[in-house]
Every structure is written in C-alpha cells, then in structure tokens.
C-alpha cells in the first residue's frame, strides 16, 4: 500500500500557489485556482485536488491558456450576468461573477451567470455551494471534451458534462448539494484508475473497438466512456451540451476536443449557472418552504439513507482537524513540478 504524506490545508494552498505561479499564472489566477484545489483536497475529492496541478501545468505549457487575462464582466438590464474569461482558467471568472449573480437574483428572483471562453478543470460543487452561501438555490452545468459515447452509439460525442445543484439550509451546518458527471465515471477517476493500474467498475467504458472494458488505458487510448443510466444519462448530457454550449454561443464537447488538437489540455468551453431566490418564489411564506424541504431531508436520513455530499462534508471536518493525506507518488509528481 502506498504511503501517505500529511499536509495541512495551508500547505496545500501555499504549494498550489507556488506551483501555479512558477508556471507563469498571475497572482489572481493562481490564488483562485488554489482555492478550488484546496476545496477538492479538503473534501477528499482526490481527482479534483493536487492531482490536478499536473494537468494544469501541462495545459499552460501547451500555450493555449492565457496566464494573466482579467475576466470581463458584462451587466445589463437583463437577469443574465456575462463573464468573458478570455481563454484563461475558469475559477477567477466565477469569482468575478458570483457577487453580481447574487445581486441580480435577489432583485428579480431568478438570474443566470454565463461564463464564456474558459478552461474548466474543476468540480461544480464549490460553485453551487457559493451560491447557497448567499441563501440562494443554485444550478450549474458545463460540457468538457468529447470523451463519452451516447447510448446506442459507437463513438464519443458528449462530454462528461457534470450537473450540480444546491439548496440553502438556514438551520443546518451545510447546504444540500449534489454534483455528478452524466458519464458513468468521472474523467478524473478514470485517469486515477489508469495511473494506479486498477480495474474500472463494470459498464463505464469502451475500448477502441466499442467493446465494454475494465481497462482504463484501453478507454483512454482510443476508447471512450459511457453515460450513466443509458438513454436517460445520454439525454441529460445532450441537454447540457445545448444549454452550456450552443445556447451561450460557446463550444460543445466535440468542438472543444477539436480545438485541443491532440494536446490533451484541460477542456475549453463555457459554463452556465442559475440562481433562485426562495423568498421570491412560493406564495409568500418562506418558512413553509423551508419546513417542507427539511421534512423531506429528514424522511431520507431517518431511514438510514444519506444525503449527497454527506461523505464529503464529513471529510471536510476530518481535514480541518488533521490536514490531508496525499499518496507518495502524487506528492512526488507535484514536487517535480517545482524543479
């Protein structure tokens, strides 16, 4: 079994900033990305933690992504906040837009944040959690690269296309949050299986001949991934392509992969987020709305089921007390990024 290296949360953040700065990112971009990496590592989402630093370094080295571009925020009379990331990484663009999204939502009840021209590598739960922190309901979606074969098909067209949702809970420690890829396995998890030479679960990937495989290398080298739930997952994934690709005049997963041109960079595309103000919906009795939601959550957990993200929130508590534990080989890889 691989040994683990124990790091404090501050060390994770500082190390991330140090590496990203070494590769030329501006201070604002390095810190925004480091906050996302810290969140992933803190919540034991290994595929979105420090492991991602290597992917980011590779993308920067290919010369596609802007290291310094300042996101441009457009606010007009509509309920849509638009942020042009100008082909930089997405976290800073989100941070520049979230406050205006909250303001718009509280004014009119529902608003959207449209992010264009960004390189997106992160999970969506930090973003919908940020929306929930404003007392708002959040929904987020984004395409990726065309790694996923649609149900009934034989070649990749769709991205992993995550969908995330948050519900604020005034009297609970954490909001209700879910974040999942519409692919049967997240791309980061597939890459970790490849890296550790472990078998994939059944029915999550195909090899280059279109046959189901448990070999991660076969899926990555000319193969593809599958959607979860067959046609249902495929339909949801297609919706996300349309909503966060075509609708906002940004790249679909196919177009993102074409732009990449075999360089295996982080996907470049757009993102679409929605926020809803509970106080503006319903019939004017917000306490009734909150009580109804809490009764639903109680009915789930009282029978022994868990709410999504419950394990992540438990991991957060552990990390805040004891720090995080990174496998020796991943730690060695990120140290090599400093050489």
Q: What count of Cα atoms within 13 Å lies in the side-chain half-sphere of residue 32? A: 23
Inter-residue contact 237 to 227 (CB < 8 Å): yes
CA atoms of 339 and 238, how far apart (whole Å):
42
Copy the structure tokens of residue 247. 């609708």
∠ at Cα 94 (88, 99), nearest 5°?
145
Neighbours of 280 (CB within 10 A): 15
Strand order across the beta sheet in which 205-206 lies:
148-149, 224-226, 205-206
- 84 and 48 Cβ atoms separated by less than 8 Å: no
Closest CA to 56 of 97, 90, 14, 95: 90
DSSP string, 203-218: TSEE-TTS-B-S-HHH
Q: Report the catalytic residues.
A: 47-48, 189
Reference 175, options 110, 108, 125; nearest CA is 125
Scan for tokens 């920067």, then name that residue: 60
Residue 91 gets which letter from DSSP?
H
Task: Name the token pair of 285.
Answer: 């009795």
């Amino acid at each position: 079994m691989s040994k683990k290296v124990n790091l404090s949360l501050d060390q994770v953040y500082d190390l991330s900033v140090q590496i990203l700065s070494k590769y030329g990112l501006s201070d604002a971009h390095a810190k925004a990305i480091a906050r996302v990496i810290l969140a992933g590592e803190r919540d034991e989402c290994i595929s979105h933690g420090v492991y991602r630093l290597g992917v980011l370094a590779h993308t920067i080295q290919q010369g596609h992504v802007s290291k310094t571009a300042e996101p441009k925020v457009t606010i007009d009379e509509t309920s849509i906040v638009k942020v042009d990331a100008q082909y930089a990484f997405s976290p800073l663009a989100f941070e520049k837009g979230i406050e205006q999204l909250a303001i718009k939502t509280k004014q009119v009840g529902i608003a959207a944040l449209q992010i264009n021209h960004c390189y997106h590598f992160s999970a969506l739960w930090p973003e919908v959690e940020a929306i929930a922190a404003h007392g708002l309901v959040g929904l987020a979606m984004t395409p990726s690269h065309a790694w996923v074969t649609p149900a009934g098909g034989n070649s990749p067209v769709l991205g992993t296309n995550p969908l995330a949702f948050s519900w604020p809970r005034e009297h609970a420690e954490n909001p209700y949050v879910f974040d999942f890829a519409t692919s049967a396995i997240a791309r980061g998890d597939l890459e970790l299986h490849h890296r550790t030479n472990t078998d994939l679960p059944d029915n999550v990937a195909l090899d280059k001949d279109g046959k189901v495989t448990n070999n991660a290398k076969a899926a990555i080298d000319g193969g593809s991934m599958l959607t979860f739930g067959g046609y249902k997952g495929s339909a949801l994934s297609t919706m996300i392509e349309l909503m966060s690709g075509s609708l906002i005049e940004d790249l679909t997963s196919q177009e993102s992969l074409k732009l990449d041109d075999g360089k295996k960079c982080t996907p470049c595309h757009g993102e679409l987020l929605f926020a809803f103000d509970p106080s503006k919906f319903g019939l004017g009795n917000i306490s009734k709305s909150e009580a109804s939601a809490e009764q639903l959550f109680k009915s789930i957990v009282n029978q022994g089921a868990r709410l999504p993200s419950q394990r992540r929130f438990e991991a957060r508590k552990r990390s805040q007390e004891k720090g995080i534990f990174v496998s020796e080989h991943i730690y060695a890889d990120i140290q090599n990024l400093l050489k």
